[in-house]
Amino acid sequence: MAELSDAAAFPPTVIVVHPRERRSKCTVEPLRGRSDFVFVRFPDPVPVRLDGYVRLGMGGPLLTEADAACGLLVLDGTWRLAQRMEPFYSELPVRSLPPVRTAYPRTSRVFRDPSGGLATIEAVYAAQRILQRPVTGLLDAYYWKDEFLAANDWLSAAD
């Protein structure tokens, strides 16, 4: 029960999902219904005020504990779809993750994924760890949980 009260102390993490993202392949789909996450179908309006939020992305300063009071917005879709959504959230400061190794078996035959690319659940988990937020249950439905944590031992510290 302490988990819920801890989660309520932080702004909810907003996950904006591109409509062409397949829910059956979506790594954050199991988080729907949790009180610490708000899911939005792009381009629908976000139902929370985004004042004080940062957007997780590439090319910004590193996300650090100094961002702990900020809300977090994450774009969910293929790399190309996420890039198309970025301009709609350009008012939010971008924060990047330090190097994190993915365990997700990506195999695009059409486009090359950026180096350092992660599955959305991996990025969310790493961000929540950095922001010192509860992570219990985030990876429970992620098939590659053990491989991901083994490849990133700094993320698997005890709660």
73 burial level (CB within 10 Å; 0-12, 13-18, 19+)? buried
Q: Find the farthest-apart pair of alpha carbons in the chain and give their distance in angstroms, rounded.
A: 45
Whether the per-residue pLDDT at 5 is higher than 50: the answer is no
Question: pLDDT tier at 159 (50, 70, 90 boundaries)?
Answer: very low
Q: Is the pLDDT higher at 69 or at 9?
A: 69
144, 103 contact by CB (below 8 A): yes
In the structure encoding, which two tokens stand for residue 123, read together? 């990025």
pLDDT for the residue 9: 84
Predicted TM-score (pTM) of the model is 0.88
pLDDT for the residue 23: 78
Q: Give the tens place of pLDDT for each residue, 33-57.
A: 999 999 999 999 999 999 999 999 9
What is the layout of strands, in order, in the sheet containing 71-76?
37-41, 13-17, 71-76, 53-56, 94-95
- φ, ψ dihedrals at 54, nearest 5°: -120, 155
